[in-house]
Amino acid sequence: MMRILRVLFDGFILRCPRCRQGRMFESGFQMYRECPHCGLAFERSSGEITGGMGINTVATLLIVLFSGIYIGVTPSVPALPAFIVVVLVAILFPIGFYRSSRGMWASILYLTGDNAEPD
């Protein structure tokens, strides 16, 4: 269990899950195809980006859902400003979380062995 958490955390902080030394991103939103240190393929094909997008979408929806529930059960929170904040979070959070969600997906691929499997 600790190994799984460690590997997922490595992906979250954009560190290679196998060697824990290589970085996952060159710059900005450009991900390395493989670890510059150990050669682990982070994503073998371009379609695997959808896993990271799924993690990002679920995390964003959970934040919006729990924020909406909190706003709904707390009558002292003014509705319009709270709504504006939730909309801004729903727009900005996925952009800020994009790299970590891709890193976590690369870690899940490493855990399941899918990035070492031949096509």
The ranges assigned to domains in the chain are 2-112
Residue 119 has pLDDT above 60, yes or no: no
Identify the band that residue 96 occupies on the pLDDT scale cut at 50, 70 and 90: very high
- Please state, as a whole number, how many other Cβ atoms lie within 10 Å of the Cβ of residue 7: 21
pLDDT digits (tens, 9 = 90+) for 27-60: 888 888 888 888 888 877 767 788 889 999 999 9
Residue-level pLDDT at 115:
65
pLDDT, the chain, mean: 87
Q: What CA dihedral angle connects 26, 102, 95 and 80, to 10 degrees?
A: -160
Q: What percent of the chain has pLDDT over 90?
A: 41
More confident residue, 21 or 49: 21
- What is the rounded average pLDDT of the residues 89-113? 91
